[in-house]
Structure 1
Amino acid sequence: MIKRPEYIKPGDTIGVTAPSFGPSIEPYSLMYPLSKENIESRGYKVIAGETVFKSDGLGISTDPKVTGKELMDFYKREDINAIISAGGGELMCETISNMDFDELKAYKPKWFIGYSDNTNFIFPLVTITGVQGIYGPCINGYAKKWEETEFDSFALLEGTKSSFDGYKRFVNPELEGPGPEVYTDEYLRAPYAFNDDRELIIYKNNGGELTRSAEKVEMKGILLGGCLDILVNLCGTKFDRMKDFVKENGDIIWVLEACDLTPMSIRRSLWNLREAGWFDSAAGFVFGRPETSWKQNMMGVDQYNAVTDILAPLGKEIIMDAEIGHIDPMLPVVMGAEAKISADNVNLNISYI
């Protein structure tokens, strides 16, 4: 049984720590106080760890021994009710080398929310510690005027909703203009600059072959995944307990997205995880819009066949271009939770059981 942490409520304390990179440079340093203000106006106390404003590490906020200790300490502290990561980044893998996920089993489960590089913590939190975690916005995501992403993130933290619909408009990188020369509060508080309608790409299993479809698909299972860039890096390490997890937990809906991976890298990564047995109990797949690979083609390999050609032998349905991950807006997801997912080309719903 994967444990669900207690929901938080106004008056509780949210800890912010930087196990990857923190808001030490613009625009993130300007966004943090706005995020803190927005969350405190909702009735919460916000405390920041010493790592949050450090930038003396190489590719990380500070020494990974320090970041690992602070995240462990924050998780253990009884006066912190939930943790929001200060940011994503590149080298949180070095942070978790200084953590003990088995030790965390002895402590009260606590909500942790973050995405991208924070897959390094959320994935073993689920698969080793046996506690659910939220793949959603890091602290600076709450600086803007709150819309569905931010309200839905706190609905998960507070337990006020169990069914979440996807978001039908998004910020298409191909249509997005350049950022400002100077960051202002007005710019940082602005809502998402939606510029396109989202279309979900559905692949159904027809006699062992995947074919693109306009029909509705449904799947049920335990949600698991995160950033593919990170997951393939964890595969084969001491943080890879997937053989046992697959045996113990039945059907898994893999919720995946990619940041820096090219179409070729996505294809290789999925091959790696498939051959390692991670997908042996897959009940289906949901892929977010990939940031670097969005609408890219490398020698005939694109964001779609990079996925379908590798996963076709599994005979499971696939939902692609969902609003999960690096291309705004982001639908937050509870990893480790049992859920039903339904989708067609224009609708997406995740309902937690």
Structure 2
Amino acid sequence: MPIRFPAPLQPGDAIAVTAFSSGIHPQLHGRLDDALNELRERGYRVVEGECLREEKHDASASAAARLAELRRFLFDPGIRAILPPWGGERAIELLPGLDFAALAELPPKWVAGFSDVSTLMAPLTLRAGWATLHGPNLMDLPLKDRAFGNEALLAALETGMPPAQAQHGRYWRWDEPGRQFANRVRLLGGGSGKMEGRLIGGCLDVLAPLQGTPYFDLDAFKAEPAILYLENCELAPCGVLRALAGLRLSGALDGLAGLVLGRSSGPDAADGDALSYEGALRAALDGLPYPVAVDADIGHVPPQWSLLNGAWATLEVFGEGEARLAQRAAR
């Protein structure tokens, strides 16, 4: 299916905000309001959904209510972008209720975010041909330490394509506040390398369960060279091993131009006798006939790149731990 790219956003355009997975607890409404006000200050009209400011049973509302609101915004020609506040756990419930064939006949609109937002974005690209934007979530916009990622996200929305990006010099973790770590993107086998292809991917935790379903079928997408990118949120090393090995057994990792893994925010080995995250990657991925980049700026360990699913990308990884990512519409 040909990939179609949303038009750049213009002042006055309407952006819908709906939590089709996890909602926002009242104690975080202030941060949400700051994010919405930032959109308004950039000249956009914010259309706030009803499935947003509550959270019960790990969701903003019932599956039926979340689906109805998401469908309304997807099919409303007046809505130019859908920005969920963040991901969550339960977006998978909505997939059977979405008519991707009908969406394939409509002009694409922006859908952006990461984590469980991947559950919607990957099928939108694969089944409806919409380019979708994996990058910081709406709730990241008020966080000043996220400027590196937020600026690239906003540039993509407002120009139609993410800018060229290099790895950020530092990264940080939620569980170690106040500390920063040297950022080194590298190839799993060492050395330097380059990959080119159309981007597709998202969060490993939510995409791995979709293997074997119509919602994450990469066969047609791989008619052109393809780069698959994945990032781990919560899986421990053995879970990472099972998820990646399952993708490999299903054929999802066959015929790629490259594989890119973000930094893992899941737990690592508890002691020296347990399987480490690095060991899990090697056990699952050794022998692949293309470059595998690891520790990229993708996902739950900030900062992060913006990657446009469906864009033609060139990723260069240099032996000293540096990387350069460029994206464009045409091959």
Instruction: Give the TM-score taking structure 2 as reference length.
Output: 0.92
Q: Is the CA contact (8 Å cut-off) linking 1:229 and 1:260 kept in structure 2?
A: yes
In structure 2, distance between residues paired with 1:296 and 1:343: 30
Residue 105 of structure 1 corresponds to which residue in structure 2?
Answer: 104
Aligned runs of 1:20-59 on 2, under 5 Å?
Answer: 20-26=21-27, 28-56=28-56, 58-59=57-58
Superposition deviation, residue 97 in structure 1: 2.8
Shift of 1:299: 4.3
- CA drift of 1:309 comes to 2.7
Report if aligned partners of 2:173, 2:265 keep a CA contact under 8 Å in 1.
Answer: no
Assess if the C-alpha contact under 8 Å between 1:165 and 1:348 holds in 2: yes
Contact 1:22-1:55 at 8 Å conserved across structures: yes
RMSD (Å) for aligned C-alpha atoms: 1.9
Contact 1:17-1:70 at 8 Å conserved across structures: yes
Q: Indicate conservation of the 8 Å contact 1:293/1:302, yes or no.
A: no
Distance in 1 of aligned mates of 2:195 and 2:269: 26
Of 343-352 and 216-225, deviating more is 343-352
Q: Aligned residues, how many? A: 324
Provide closer, same or farther for how the CA distance between residues 296 and 34 of structure 1 changes in structure 2, counting only shifts above 3 A: farther
Alpha-carbon distance between aligned partners in 1 of 2:268 and 2:136, rounded to the nearest angstrom:
20
User: What secondary structure sits across from 1:236 in the alignment?
Assistant: coil
Question: TM-score w.r.t. structure 1 length?
Answer: 0.86
Check the 8 A contact 2:199/2:310 in 1, yes or no: yes
Distance apart, 1:262 and its partner CA: 0.7
1:245 paired residue among 221, 226, 234: 221
* Partner residue, 1:76: 75
Tell me how far 1:163 sits from its aligned partner: 1.4
Match of 1:346?
321
- What residue identity is the alignment partner of 2:122? F
SS in 2 for 1:224: strand
Q: C-alpha distance in 2, partners of 1:311/1:296?
A: 22
1:90 equivalenced with 2:118 (yes/no): no
**1:286 maps to which residue?**
260
Deviations 1:319-353 (A, max 9, x none): 11111100111212111211101122432221113
**Are residues 1:197 and 2:182 paired?**
yes
1:333 is aligned, of 287, 307, 321, to 307
Is 1:324 aligned with 2:269?
Answer: no
CA distance in 1 between counterparts of 2:292 and 2:31 reads 36
Unpaired segments ≥5 residues, structure 2: none
**Secondary structure of the structure 2 residue equivalent to 1:147:** helix
2:87 is paired with a residue of what secondary structure? coil
Q: Which runs of 4+ in 1 moved over 4 A?
A: 294-300
Instruction: Check the 8 A contact 1:264/1:298 in 2, yes or no.
Output: no
| Cα deviation digits, residues 53-101 of structure 1 (max 9, x gap) | 2334x32111112111211211111221111112211111112232222
2:186–2:317 CA contact under 8 A, matched in 1 = no
Q: Which amino acid aligns with 2:59?
A: I
Counterpart CA distance in 2 for 1:294 and 1:136 is 24
Identity %: 28
Cα distance, 1:296 vs structure 2: 5.9
Q: CA deviation at 1:301?
A: 2.3
Once residues 152 and 101 of structure 1 are traced to their aligned partners in structure 2, the CA distance between those partners, rounded to angstroms, is 28
Alpha-carbon contact 1:227-1:256 (below 8 Å) kept: yes
C-alpha change, 1:251 and 1:293, in structure 2 (3 Å) is farther
Deviation at 1:285, TM superposition (A): 1.3
Report deviation, 1:252: 1.3
Alpha carbons of 1:169 and 1:137: their partners in 2 closer, same or farther (altered >3 Å)?
Answer: same
Compared CA separation, residues 25 and 97, structure 1 to 2 (3 A): farther
Answer yes or no: is the 8 Å Cα contact 2:207–2:216 preserved in 1: no
Residue 157 (structure 1) aligns with = 157
1:218-246 CA-partner distances (Å, limit 9, x unpaired): 11001111111111111122423333333
Counterpart of 1:343, as a letter, is: V
